[in-house]
Every structure is written in C-alpha cells, then in structure tokens.
Amino acid sequence: MAASPRILLVDDEPDLLDLMELALVKMGLETERANSVAEAQARLAQTHYDLCLTDMRLGDGEGLDVVACASALTAPVPVAVITAYGNAGNAVAALKAGAFDYLAKPVALDQLRTLVKSALNIPEATQADVTARDLIGQSTAMQEIRTRIAKLARTQAPVHIAGESGSGKELAARLIHRLGNRSDKPFVAVNCGAIPETLMESEFFGYRKGAFTGADADRSGFFQAADGGTLFLDEIADLPLSMQVKLLRVLQEKKVRKVGATTEEAVDVRIVSATHQNLGALVEVGRFRQDLYYRLNVIDLVMPSLRERAEDIPEMARFLLDKLGGAEVKLDRDAEKALRAYAFPGNVRELENTLERALALCEDRCIRSADLNLAPAPLPASAAAGCKYPLQDYLDQAERAAILEALEQTRYNKTAAARVLGVTFRSLRYRLERLGIE
C-alpha cells in the first residue's frame, strides 16, 4: 500500500499549526511540524516531504530561507508560503524565490485544500523531451528557453512572456500549461487587443441574465472558463486602465463578480500574460498600472527573435514546409542562405507566410531564392538620416513598416489594424494594394 503524502508545516503559531494539521489529516495526509527556520531546514535535510507550508515571518528568519533550502535539495520540495493579508510584496518575493504558491492570513481551509491538491499533482519529470518536440531549434537561446519553461511549469507563479510579434509567445504559454500540474484543465487564450472596451468586463467575468439589453441568459467569462487551468492574456498592454483596475482586484482576491451579480465567486486560474511592448516603459508613462505590472511580472520569459537565432532557420523552415504540406519540396542552398540573411521583422509567423507563398510559386518541387520574394532589408538606423531620398521611397518604407507592425500586432485582422493605425478600413485596403502587401 502506497504511503500517504507527507507535508511539513512550518510556523511559530501553535493555533495555526493545529488548524492546518487538522484539515490535512482529514484529507488522509501525514504532517510534521517545525516552529523555526532552523528546525525546518534540519527536517528537510533528514526526511523526504511531498510539500512544505511555511509562514513568511518566523522567529529566527524568513520563510524565504525555507524556500531556498527546499529548492536546493537533490529532489526539490514544493513550498507554499503564508503571508500577512494584503502584503503582496512578500507574496511576490516568495514566488520569485521559487515558492509554488502562497496563502494569505487568515488561512481559508478551502483554499488550503485546493492548494495542497494542486501541489501534490506536480509532475516529477521536467519533460524537457516534450518541449524539445515543440520548440524548434538547437541554438543556445532555444536551449535556455526550453530549460526555463520546464522550470516555470513546476510553479504556480504568474509568468509574463515578452518578445516581438511572431516570436512564439503563445506557444511558450501553452507549453508552460501542458508541462504543469494543470495540464488536464482548460487553457484559455485571450487577445486583449481584439476585445472592444465596452465588452471587456462581461467577456472576462461573465454576466447575469438581464444585466443589460441582450443578456437573455447567464453567461460565464474567460475566468470561469479557465477555472482550474491557465488563462493566457495576450497583448496585455492593450488593456485600458479601467479594466486593469478590475483585473488587479481579481488577481488579489481570486474571486470574480459577474456583471449584474451581487456576489462574487471563487476562481482558481494561473495567469500567463504576454505582449510585444515594453511594460516597464508603459508603467513609467502612466499607460499601465505599476501594481498590476508587479502582479503579472513575477517571473519573466523573454522569447528571442528569429534573427537572434538565425542558425535555427533551416530547421524551422523544414518543419514549416512539412506542416504546410511540402514534405517533398526541397529548399536549395541559395534560398536557405537568403532566409538566414533576412531580418524577419515578423519572426516565425513571417517565415511561415514566406514559405507558404514560395510553396505556391516554386517549380520542380524546389524552392529557390527568387521564389521567396523577400522584401529588401530595412535601412540601418545609423544610415537612416542620410538615406531619405528619394523622398517617396523613404515614406513608402516607413508606411510599409508601420502597417506590417500593426498587422502583426492584430494577427492580420485588417479591421483591428486600421483602428491601431488610426485610419479607415478603406484607407488601409488602398495602402495595402499600393504597397503590394498581401
């Protein structure tokens, strides 16, 4: 008969230890106590535990010392910390130090039970072989990304993924979810820039029947749909400030209130966010809330651009050609050289579009450099000041770059791109035709 999971409880308050021990024993778990950092470290060194729960403030040190000790073991032990109510700074510090999750005092037993069930399902293997099959490339940058994703999958800390458009941020988010203990629960991806501001609250939190005209039945939002799993907030920088306030409250309280409802309901979601913009810079100019930024950016993951790992382009191109139905099509040496030399401002997404076009144009099942139809390389910034003539060419280049960036940002939704650019849809369509942008 398998032994029951063993949990180490670390706190200098006997009453809280009694409360947690009673709740966990009723779940069929074994518990042991420690009332100081020193005692906790000694027990961790002598006995294997499946989970450790530690207070943040102890008589002889910090809960972070316990986190560090548990993480340094040959078989690391997941640790959850207990923080004073409303002390978000301690919670964030613990998560950054490697804690699995946190609880706020006074400890709610339902949240304690949920956290323990979640922690005990953490997969033991890093499953690096799985990430290797999904993240193409053997460059140093991609090897580091695989390693970091495997580590992030073992924690419940919020993750913010930065990187240029088309660099694979959503793929990374899906891998973090799939390699973690929430893999059997929903993964809900939301493009924050594609939702009209007037609909954001109802889309995120749901609504009650009769809450507004057209609300003819109760409806759940993104948070309820992702309950137990992961909510991926793509292009988080596009959230208006009014919505940022509401999102911050949900992340703090772990509860949502549907539009038109009088009560809140608990939700258990892991937040992974992403944007191609610099959130820190947006905080400085007042376009993004600092408190929300610190909530989201507990752990960061920076996806490298394709030009930063040009050695991966041949392998990536082969993978994409197979995906596009071109398994029998070859890429000649000049075409491969041209791909490696190109900057790819749209990253992997642009590479896929380029290969799809080339696949349609090539002959004899061989893609040549002429079939790629790569755009001229952009002028380097240092030369831009002296290369503004002829003027129309310079203006066309700037306009083309702005339009391509807006299209990438909106995932080629032309209506949304026109809104980002501040022009009408008809005007954007004319510009696309004039500049020869497909």
CATH for the stretch 6-119: 3.40.50.2300
Q: How many residues does the chain have?
A: 438
Can you give the pLDDT at residue 391?
65
Residue 235 vs residue 28, higher pLDDT: 235
What is the distance between the alpha carbons of residues 63 and 56, in angstroms, rounded to a whole number?
Answer: 4
Q: Which part of the chain has CATH 1.10.10? A: 389-435
Domain boundaries for CATH 1.10.8.60 within the chain: 306-372
70 compared with 396, residue with greater pLDDT: 70
Q: Where in the chain is the domain with CATH 3.40.50.2300?
A: 6-119
> Which CATH architecture is the domain 128-302 placed in?
3-Layer(aba) Sandwich (3.40)
Q: Is the peptide bond before 106 cis (omega within 30 degrees of 0)?
A: yes
Any idea which of 34-43, 194-203, 229-238, 429-438 has the lowest mean pLDDT? 429-438
Integer angstrom CA distances of residue 141 from 136, 145, 146, 337: 11, 6, 9, 21
Helix axes 14-25, 109-119, angle to 10 degrees: 60
User: 229, 194, 223, 192: which is closest to 207 by C-alpha?
Assistant: 223
The answer on pLDDT for 2 being more than 60 is no
The mean pLDDT value for 364-392 works out to 66
Instruction: Categorise residue 373: left if φ over 0, alpha if ψ from -120 to 50, beta otherwise.
Output: left
Mean predicted lDDT score pLDDT of the chain: 85
Q: Is the dihedral of CA 189, 158, 154, 18 positive or negative?
A: negative
Structure-model confidence comparison of residues 13 and 89, the more confident one: 13
> In the chain, what is the straight-line distance between the N-terminal and C-terminal CA atoms, in Å?
64
What's the whole-model pTM score?
A: 0.64
**303: pLDDT confidence band, cut at 50, 70 and 90?**
very high
User: Nearest to residue 87, comparing CAs of 101, 103, 98, 108?
Assistant: 103
- Spatial contact of 104 and 86, defined as CB atoms under 8 Å apart: yes
Can you tell me the distance from the alpha carbon of 235 to that of 44, in angstroms, rounded to the nearest whole number?
Answer: 41
Of 216-220, 354-358, 396-400, 401-405, the one with minimum mean pLDDT is 396-400
| Region 98-112 average pLDDT | 80
Q: Is 62 helix (H, G, I), strand (E, B) or coil?
A: strand
Residue 186 and residue 231: Cα distance in Å, rounded? Answer: 8
Residue 255, classed as helix, strand or coil, is: strand
> Which stretch of DSSP H or E encloses residue 161?
strand 159-162
CB 405 within 8 A of CB 165: yes
Mean pLDDT of 114-138: 63
Residue 288 has what pLDDT?
A: 94
Question: Which token pair is 426?
Answer: 């008809």
In the chain, CATH 3.40.50.300 sits at 128-302
Residue matched to tokens 């309280």: 253
The whole-number average pLDDT for the span 283-306 is 92
DSSP codes of every residue in 182-235? TTTS-EEEEEGGGS-GGGHHHHHH-B-TTSSTT--S-B--HHHHTTTSEEEEET
Mean pLDDT across the stretch 248-256? 92
Q: What is the pLDDT of residue 54?
A: 93
Level-2 CATH architecture, domain 389-435: Orthogonal Bundle (1.10)
Q: b vs e for 346-380, b when ≥16 Cβ sit within 10 Å of the residue's Cβ?
A: bbbbbbbebbeebbeebeeeebbbebbebbeeeee
What digits encode the pLDDT tens for the residues 169-221? 999 999 999 888 898 889 999 999 888 888 899 999 999 888 888 888 888 89
The whole-number pLDDT of residue 327 equals: 84
- Write out the CATH class of domain 306-372: mainly alpha
Give the per-residue pLDDT at 379.
44
| Mean pLDDT, residues 144-160 taken together | 89
Alpha-carbon distance of 194 to 416, in angstroms, equals 7
Contact predicate 155/161, CB 8 Å = no
